[in-house]
Amino acid sequence: EVLLVESGGGLVQPGGSLRLSCGVSGFTFSTSWMTWVRQAPGRGLQWVATIKGDGVQQDYVDSVKGRFTISRDNAKNSLFLQMNSLRVEDTAVYFCARGAEYWGDWGQGTLVTVSS
Amino acid sequence: EIVMTQSPATLSVSPGERATLSCRASRWVTANLAWYQQKPGQAPRLLIYGASTRAAGVPARFSGSGSGTEFTLTISGLQSEDVAVYYCQQYNDWSPAFGPGTKVDIK
């Protein structure tokens, strides 16, 4: 069974940092592209970042470039999203998902709230 | 940047009737189009990829069609468990984009 479990969300002040994690099992993580997608409260879905299986290639939505970093630890079957210089508009549920182009396996999400 | 639009914003359909959801891309995306279903408090569920290929385990009442810039998701014989928001998503370039969603409810 494929399982993805996010953690690390919480309340942070504007300008602060947070690191999200996604632990996975049930598939070969090291060869899988992985993605973060977010959803602001009551809003639609937004692609955030994607990373190749070997970690060499990453891509980001323009609004987070230079502030967010996607990374992975294949030895620990874990995906990360380091979020710096957080803004109020980054408030959202963050989902990790397997794949590069479309996503058939998702975690349950972790809520990030950016507020003073 | 490819912008996705969906119509209608809300669709009310009687049980057993057909629901037709539309999605439009601002630029050509060939058949690189997926559809998702999302119920409240849940992660999205992949329904369709490649514009018309059903994902594993998706009931046959869900079908996708279209190519280029115009796409359709059809639910043939709406059931109560189909009440959800449906999103289309293009993956033709390296900035995947979702549409704003269509909320489907029971009339």
pLDDT in tens, A58-91: 999 999 999 999 999 999 999 999 999 999 999 9
What's the residue count for chain A? 116
On the question of pLDDT at B93 being above 90, the answer is no
Phi-psi category of residue A13: left, alpha or beta, with phi > 0 → left and psi -120 to 50 → alpha:
beta
What's the mean pLDDT when you consider all of chain A? 97
- Whether the CB of A58 is below 8 Å from some CB of chain B: the reply is no
pLDDT in tens, B33-61: 999 999 999 999 999 999 999 999 999 99
- Whether the CB of A1 is below 8 Å from some CB of chain B: the reply is no
With an 8 Å Cβ cutoff, are B95 and A108 in contact?
A: no
Sign of the dihedral through C-alpha A30, A53, B4, B21: negative
Which residue in A92, A74, A58, A48 sits closest to B97, CA to CA?
A48
Q: Which residues of A touch B45 (CB under 8 A)?
A: 106
Q: What is the mean pLDDT of residues A97-104?
A: 96
Q: Which residues of B touch A37 (CB under 8 A)?
A: 44
On the question of pLDDT at B94 being above 90, the answer is no
